[in-house]
Amino acid sequence: MSDTPVLSPSQPAAPGTAPKIGFVSLGCPKALTDSELILTQLRAEGYETSKTFAGADLVIVNTCGFIDDAVKESLDTIGEALAENGKVIVTGCLGAKAGQAGGDNLIKEVHPSVLAVTGPHATQEVMDAVHTHVPKPHDPFVDLVPAQGIKLTPKHYAYLKISEGCNHRCSFCIIPSMRGDLVSRPIGDVLNEARALFEAGVKELLVISQDTSAYGVDVKYRTGFWDGTPVKTKLFDLVARLGELAKAHGAWVRLHYVYPYPHVDEILPLMAQGLILPYLDVPLQHAHPDVLKRMKRPANGEKNLERIQRWREICPEIVIRSTFIAGFPGETEAEFQYLLDFMQEARIDRAGCFAYSPVQGATANELPGAVDEAVREARRAQFMEVAERVSAAKLRERIGATMQVLVDSAPALGRKGGVGRSYADAPEIDGTVRLLPPEKASKTLKVGEFTRARIVAAEGHDLVAMPI
């Protein structure tokens, strides 16, 4: 759960100047792309953004309602914005959450003076509320909007959201009740956005959604059009086109939130050919079939270990990232041991683990066999010990190899070294590659550019490398 406070410089609005909107974006990358859409629309209509609540004519808070800490952070931020500014519009996941005292909206219950509340992916509703309280400025400079829209990420990487919502009903998750069923974006729109991003200098495109493998299921894989040619609204077709676009721009495409369905196997040859990164973020959450069934996980009948082995046969360099939950209701000692064994056999490169914690409104709360909190935490710690051993061993295997590294930071043109990432590291969630000062005086490092680097050491989750 990261947060991205307000953008761009500003002073309090002076008479005759464009109205200024304060914006706070809380939550996951999917919420971030909602924020980008709203900010793009605001800019398109001639609004400016304000760095401070007090200097804004109105504040928009994009909230997260995933876990209790995120709810608290969102409610606190709304409170701050109300205290410092007074005019506040709230959007995002928390906006769709029911109140606790019988009201139909939690935010209205806690902060009755907010001007408007919407759920997630509601750009138009948010804009309507903005227009009501801070009228649109005249003669908007539409041409000032960059073709790729306004991005909150650094210039060299960007998230590309391909769908909204989810058709699954995992028992620990309330996202579908907040974001609704799967709605895939038209393939032509997605590809146009990708092309605009690459043309604007993006070197790494991170494909996200709630369930990337389900892209197009809701529209029965309808045939759309892009560049005058028919293209199916289907993951393979999308990824193949994205790979071609990325290749033409010397950029990377990385896939997140992919479930281990059989049709995902088709994508592996694209990775082996180098069209997209050999990296898959597959949130498995557990390995034992009975726990997966109780979790109501997508693809819970699949044999994940065999699937991962097959992926490695097709594309040996594939890196797999995953997240797991320890201490899910009813998890026995034997089921947990099964998970540990799976982790060692599957050799998941990057794994995260949460101790199960009940989320208000999730059906898992009613499952029998709640695991004691101390046991949940002990299992999480035990899992992470195993995961870190696996990950460290895999990182050590890279010592001596030469890898392509995308530079994220390089003060003084890299004379004192820098920090980057290889194909094995997604931004924010995985490790990094610490780049040593180049030996050759003529070698420089620039943010957003690739460098070849020889791996010389492994340190925790990270690698150390010499740029060459």
Q: Which residue positions form the known binding site for [4Fe-4S] cluster? A: 28, 64, 93, 166, 170, 173
Three-state DSSP state, 165: coil
Q: Are 336 and 298 in contact (CB under 8 A)?
A: no
Q: Considering only residues 260, 298, 414, 438, which one is a binding residue for ligand SF4 as defined by CB under 6 A? A: 298
- The residue from 50, 118, 209, 210 that contacts ligand SF4 (CB under 6 A) is 210
Q: Which one-letter amino acid corresponds to residue 19?
A: P
Taking the complex as a whole, the smallest distance from the CB of residue 397 to ligand SF4 amounts, in Å, to 31
The nearest distance, CB 48 to ligand SF4, in angstroms, is 35
Under rule CB under 6 A, residue 211 binds ligand SF4: yes
Is 245 an interacting residue with respect to ligand SF4 (CB under 6 A)? no
Query: Which amino acid, 347?
Result: R
Question: For 271, which DSSP code?
Answer: H
Whole-number Å distance between alpha carbons of 297 and 289: 10
Of 245 and 284, CB closest to ligand SF4: 284
CB under 8 Å to 374, separation ≥6 — which residues? none
Provide, rounded to whole angstroms, the least separation between the CB of residue 140 and ligand SF4. Answer: 36
The closest of 349, 354, 253, 352 to 308, measured between CA atoms, is: 349
Site track 148-167 with ligand SF4 (rule: CB under 6 A), x = hit: ------------------x-
Distance in angstroms (rounded) separating the CA atoms of residues 354 and 372: 14
175 near ligand SF4, rule: CB under 6 A: yes
Among the listed ranges 57-65, 172-180, 367-375, 425-433, the one in contact with ligand SF4 (CB under 6 A) is 172-180
Q: Is 64 in the site for ligand SF4 (CB under 6 A)?
A: no
CB–CB of 225/188 below 8 Å?
A: yes
Name every residue whose Cβ is closer than 8 Å to that of residue 398 and which is 6 or more positions away in sequence. 455, 458, 463
| 170 contributes a contact to ligand SF4 by CB under 6 A | yes
176 binds ligand SF4 (CB under 6 A): yes
Smallest separation (angstroms) from ligand SF4 to the CB of 298: 5
Give the span between the Cα atoms of 327 and 332, in whole angstroms: 8
At its nearest, how many Å lie between ligand SF4 and the CB of residue 45? 32
Alpha-carbon torsion, ordered 145, 121, 190, 279, to 10 deg: 110
Which residues are near ligand SF4 by CB under 6 A? 166, 168-170, 173, 175-176, 210-211, 298
